[in-house]
Amino acid sequence: MQLQKNFSLRKHNTFQVDAKASFFTEVYTLEELTEALDFAKDKNLSYFILGGGSNILLTQDFKGIVIALRLSGISEQRIDENHIVVTAKAGENWHQFVRYCTTKNYGGLENLSLIPGNVGTSPIQNIGAYGVEIKDAFHSCKVLDTLDGSVKTLHVEDCHFGYRDSIFKNSEKGRYIILEVSFLLTTDHHQISASYGAIQQQLEQKNIKNPSIKDISEAVIAIRQSKLPDPQITGNAGSFFKNPVIPIEQFNILKRNFENIPNYPSHQEIKIPAGWLIEQCGWKGKTLGNVGCHPLQALVIINSNGKATGQEVYNFSSDIIDSVKEKFNIQLEREVNVL
Ligand code: FAD
Ligand code: EPU
């Protein structure tokens, strides 16, 4: 095991904030992962599992060992004429994996193109975009159960996927380390999901009537590039908050004061776009010190000049939470994992 001490994590989080880990190691196999966990146990250190670092905010140095998962490899198992199970190890880059699937004409993940991060992290918050969540194509995942060191297979019903939620983020937080994820994909008769307004607009612009999975992937990439900052250039972690889901009664009261409030039904409740709430509070495009609210997507907080600390970003997010609470009586919840 290659151990690095007092290691800067700046290049390992898409917010590009500087924080140090007492120890840092990259693991390429299950054996190396076990070795790193044993090291943490022996030294009585806490550990942190790192994927692509695109959904974390480091507000302080990490006094323990950061274990970066680099397990790689993709395999396939044909199920029937129209289905295949494709399995990727946790350290595979998500977008490269989606590309692998779309190039081979395997359908199911194309709406999730260009989401940063690794395959192993995708079940944690049930990543979603443009009308699809991974739960829709999820088959199973192999995990290391840190309670007893066993390797288990979890199926969709075990994971309790919800909107940006699963057992991995909630009831069993920290228990399982995801080693690989399998998806059930179509090889011929694809279920094209093109109902999201922005996708329809893209397809209309290109005069595409019967989109292929590649067309959907390209449309999604174009939409994302038009409004989300590239984390290689501007530090950010995508949506900083979840879109709040509120009871219908609360929504009806709000609608009396805010006639044009956008809203979407979500089971028996109403989902309100947090980007709209934040924009209404005057934050969109605003910069305070080194931190800003993105001018094209108010839900994204940015490290404006690359000099922000995690604590500054956190304070900025607290100010947003306070003003949305004051104006709309809605409590925003952070989507990003704060350390
Ligand atoms: P990390 O940030 O490395 O880790 C996140 C959390 O998961 C940490 O708590 C970590 O300990 C834990 N973890 C990581 N890997 C494992 C593992 N193998 N086993 C157990 N725990 C693990 N998300 C969406 O859902 N939809 C979007 O459209 C979207 N767009 C984004 C756009 C941008 C520009 C950015 C920067 C982010 C976006 N995100 C989006 C958020 C992010 O891409 C996802 O949450 C992604 O799944 C995070 O993956 P990661 O490997 O970078 O996770
Ligand atoms: N809106 C505004 N102002 C803004 C931004 C959004 O008013 O500055 C309103 C508009 O009414 C717009 C609506 O919000 O129609 C929805 O905006 P958008 O389609 O950009 O989606 P979002 O709700 O802001 C969610 C996800 C994204 C995902 C997109 C596309 C969450 C927290 N965010 O954003 O996921 O890519 O939908 O499906 O659910 C992420 O999780 O990191 C992420 C980027």
Among 243, 228, 232, 124, which residue's Cα sits nearest to residue 181? Answer: 124
Strands ordered across the beta sheet of 291-293: 235-239, 300-303, 291-293, 287-288
Q: May I ask the CATH architecture of the domain 4-69?
A: 2-Layer Sandwich (3.30)
> Ligand 1: does its nearest atom lie under 6 Å from the Cβ of 71?
no
- pLDDT per residue, tens digit, the chain (339 aa), is 899 999 999 999 999 999 999 999 999 999 999 999 999 999 999 999 999 999 999 999 999 999 999 999 999 999 999 999 999 999 999 999 999 999 999 999 999 999 999 999 999 999 999 999 999 999 999 999 999 999 999 999 999 999 999 999 999 999 999 999 999 999 999 999 999 999 999 999 999 999 999 999 999 999 999 999 999 999 999 999 999 999 999 999 999 999 999 999 998 999 999 999 999 999 999 999 999 999 999 999 999 999 999 999 999 999 999 999 999 999 999 999 999
β-pairing, 46-50 with 62-69?
parallel
Domain ranges of the chain: 4-69, 74-227, 235-338
Instruction: List pLDDT tens digits, range 202-212.
Output: 999 999 999 99
Whether ligand 1 lies within 6 angstroms of the CB of 166 is answered as no
The one catalytic residue among 122, 239, 304, 317: 239
Query: How far is the centre of ligand 1, averaged over its atoms, from the C-alpha of 121 (Å)?
Result: 6
Locate the ligand 1 atom nearest the alpha carbon of residue 236 and give its number.
Answer: 36
Question: Cα–chain-centroid distance for residue 83?
Answer: 26
Residue-level pLDDT at 110: 98
Q: How high is the pLDDT of residue 148?
A: 96
SS3 333: coil
Cα angle: 112, vertex 168, 271; to 5 degrees: 55
- What atom in ligand 2 is closest to the CA of residue 298? 8
Q: Is 239 a catalytic residue?
A: yes
236 conformational bin, left if phi > 0, alpha if psi -120 to 50, beta if neither: beta
Ligand 2 neighbours by CB, cut-off 6 Å: 129-130, 238-239, 242-243, 262, 273, 275-276, 279, 284, 297-299, 335
Please tell me the CATH code under which domain 74-227 is placed: 3.30.465.10
User: CATH assignment of 235-338, given 3.40.50.9100, 3.30.365.10, 3.40.630.30, 3.90.78.10?
Assistant: 3.90.78.10
CA distances from 317 to 15, 48, 64, 324 (A): 13, 23, 26, 11
- The type of residue at 308 is A
